[in-house]
Amino acid sequence: MSLGASLRSARTKAKLSAEDLAALASITVEQLERFERGELSLTAREVDRCASALGFRLHDLETWTGKEPPLSVLLRDSLGSDFDLADGIALEVHAGLGEFQRTVRDIAELESLLGIKGDRVPQIPRSTESSGGARGEELADRVRKHLELDLEPIPSMRKLIEETLGIAVIWVSAEHLDPSVDGASTNWSRPAIMANLLEANRYPWRARTTLAHELCHVLFDYAQRGTLFSPARRIWPLGGQARGPALPAPLLEIETVARAFSACFLAPTAGVRRAVGKMDPLSEQAIHRVGETYGVGRQVAINRLSKVFHLSREHRSTMESRSPEPYFADFSGDEVAMVDGFRGDPLRSLVRRALVAGKIRPARARQALALGANDPLPFPELGELAAPAIPRSETIRRIAQAVLRERYPDEDLEALRVLEEDGAFRVVIYDGGVGSTEQRRRGHVEITASGEVSDIHLQLPGAAE
């Protein structure tokens, strides 16, 4: 099947209209439809954007047999509904989720090549008689029990998720993902969580909450396979006035449960009671005690106190209206020093391992890290293995060749040799066609170190010599 036919087939399976996919890929509908029919060739960058919108890598389209589920199928599987993805999610969100999905595919593929069995996600019964927040609390208690956490604080959510449960965590920021999304998770092709590190001044509390929230999705929201995203609270406050487009009802219920889960998992009810002891639960001291003990932010601490001690709405407002004072507790295990985006760790480390182990070649490494053949791999310590596939001299030769094609389209000129002189380049030009056994030097093109053509000296055939 051609790439265009695969794309059309995958798009149809994803129930994405040509208009939606064209918008996601920043091309016109006509371009997309002609590409699908094999009448037009798009650039690799354009086809890559189409693939990304489906959660695929470009080479997934090359080998697509109809079995791999596109992103929107995974979302529908999780929600058990047939909502129209294009109506519910902004283009930026969709693009971010697509990138997340294909990063997870890369991680799973590299782990398989390296023989790593990462997934240690436990099967914990998901059925409860409760719903909403009560269900979230019940599930959180089950997980705490399963992990034998009792009422103890969780020193590092990151360690728990990555090392104990083998769930891959991908850190992104507003630079990589629309801020209307807090995070996302999937169990396809392996369990993974994406955490959008917003509001840097709230680290690590925000990251801990997001990780716990996504953990709930991974543990309880995928019957077989699925992907979910978590709308940002400031845009979709549950029970409040949403500032974003209406979310589908199943997602609202799932989110209510996951928000309760994250708070109760980090700060369990009995633990909050024990921590507060005889303090006034309305006091600033109680807020600090809960936050410092369990590593949660002020708002989560207030929410937990309100819930555990059945505080009135007025009491809660009073607590929220007080000027907050910073509290200190060591949850540095959940601080994220650097956010490299989708193609940072854990993917980058896996790429390096696979490369060193000889499981992949540099071209596959570049593909996974979204680099071109002219780019070095980000592992300078690997020497030649990390060097660009196309050396600088060849890039310079192609620049000269392109200039010749543009300025002398009717002349048979070939840029064949590159000489480096004091950081600049001289590309020697010969006449004759490809395969010529009789070539004559016709001059040279001077190119600066930055790749700009600075001078052309040519003696064209037919001109006086």
Partner 1 sequence: VTCVPYQQTVKSSCVAACIVIAEAWRGRAATEAEWHAGAGPKGLPLRTAAALPGTRFLCASDSRDLIVALGQDRIAIATVSGPAWTAWIEGTHPALQSPHGRLAAPGPLGGPLHSIVLCEHSGGAFRAIDPWFPPAGQPLTIDDDDFERVWAGEAVLFER
What DSSP character marks residue 239?
A: T
Nearer to partner 1, 405 or 457 (CB): 405
- CA dist., res. 265 & res. 393, Å (int): 57
Q: Taking CB under 8 A as the rule, does residue 34 contact partner 1?
A: no
Contacts of residue 51, defined as CB under 8 A and 6 or more positions apart, other chains included, come to: 7, 57, 58, 60, 61, 102
**Per CB under 8 A, which region of 34-42, 91-99, 291-299, 312-320 contacts partner 1?**
34-42
| Cα radius of gyration (the chain) | 28
The full DSSP string for 146-177 is: HTT-TT---S-HHHIIIIIS--EEEEE-TTTS
User: At 237, is the secondary structure helix, strand, or coil?
Assistant: coil
- CA dist., res. 133 & res. 253, Å (int): 9
Q: Taking CB under 8 A as the rule, does residue 359 contact partner 1?
A: no
Q: Taking CB under 8 A as the rule, does residue 462 contact partner 1?
A: no
Per-residue binder mask for partner 1 (CB under 8 A), 437-456, x = binder? xxx-----------------
Q: CA angle, 214 as apex, 213 and 219 as ends, to 5°?
A: 105
Q: Are 7 and 27 in contact (CB under 8 A)?
A: no
146: which 2 tokens?
Answer: 């399963």
Q: Are 159 and 169 in contact (CB under 8 A)?
A: no
Q: Taking CB under 8 A as the rule, does residue 128 contact partner 1?
A: no
The strand pair at 192-196 and 227-231 is best described as unpaired
CA atoms within 13 A on the CB side of 244: 22
> Which amino acid is present at 68?
E
Q: Taking CB under 8 A as the rule, does residue 41 contact partner 1?
A: yes
Q: Single out the residue of 27, 32, 35, 263 in contact with partner 1 (rule: CB under 8 A).
A: 35
Nearer to partner 1, 125 or 435 (CB): 435
- CA dist., res. 114 & res. 184, Å (int): 26
Q: Taking CB under 8 A as the rule, does residue 80 contact partner 1?
A: no
**Per CB under 8 A, which region of 36-44, 91-99, 271-279, 310-318 contacts partner 1?**
36-44
**H-helix or E-strand containing 413?**
strand 413-421
Q: Single out the residue of 268, 291, 295, 362 in contact with partner 1 (rule: CB under 8 A).
A: 362
Q: Are 219 and 138 in contact (CB under 8 A)?
A: no
How many positions of this chain bind partner 1 (CB under 8 A)?
51
Q: Taking CB under 8 A as the rule, does residue 38 contact partner 1?
A: yes
Nearer to partner 1, 56 or 236 (CB): 56
Q: Taking CB under 8 A as the rule, does residue 61 contact partner 1?
A: yes
Q: Taking CB under 8 A as the rule, does residue 47 contact partner 1?
A: yes
Nearer to partner 1, 137 or 431 (CB): 431
Nearer to partner 1, 338 or 434 (CB): 434
Shortest distance (Å) from residue 145 CB to partner 1: 47
Nearer to partner 1, 60 or 141 (CB): 60
**Per CB under 8 A, which region of 24-32, 43-51, 162-170, 275-283 contacts partner 1?**
43-51
Q: Please list every residue from 380 through 439 that binds partner 1, using CB under 8 A.
A: 389-391, 393-395, 397-398, 401-402, 405, 409, 412, 414-418, 430-439
**Neighbour count for residue 145 (Cβ, 10 Å):** 11
Give me the residues that bind partner 1 (CB under 8 A), please: 2-4, 35, 38, 41-45, 47, 58-59, 61-63, 361-364, 372-374, 389-391, 393-395, 397-398, 401-402, 405, 409, 412, 414-418, 430-439
